[in-house]
Amino acid sequence: MAGLHALGMVDLLSACTDRSAPLTWIEVGSVAGPEAAVPSAALRSARLQLVGSGIGSVPGRDFVKELPRLASAVADGAFDVRARAVPLAEVEQAWTATAGLADRIVFVP
């Protein structure tokens, strides 16, 4: 998957009409793998900025500030959130029953 990641970056940069304008690539999650390959041509040919999106890359106070807007957007259907609430008491059953499913499991008390 890391190869696909690099191809997408090169495709995006190739489509830019003004390579002097800053372009921020935000790495979200690790579905494509544990490493993010960056083609050296991308770094030489554009004003590319790499930013992470995990815990630690954004101060907690900024997360807290944005939570009401994020919750509202999710409630309004602006995001396709594939999550399923499961009672915490059913953690063992959910652990084995959800192997291979794309939905995220959210355990609730």
Per-residue model confidence as pLDDT tens digits over 40-96: 888 888 888 888 877 777 788 887 898 899 889 888 988 887 888 899 999 888 877
- Token pair recorded at residue 7: 């191809």
CB 48 within 8 A of CB 23: yes
CB 74 within 8 A of CB 81: yes
| pLDDT reported for residue 97 | 75
Spell out the residues 6+ positions from residue 38 whose beta carbon is closer than 8 angstroms to its own: 6, 9, 50
Per-residue pLDDT at 4 exceeds 50:
no
- In terms of pLDDT, which residue wins out, 29 or 89? 89
Please name the amino acid found at residue 99. A
User: Whole-angstrom Cα distance, residue 72 to residue 3?
Assistant: 36
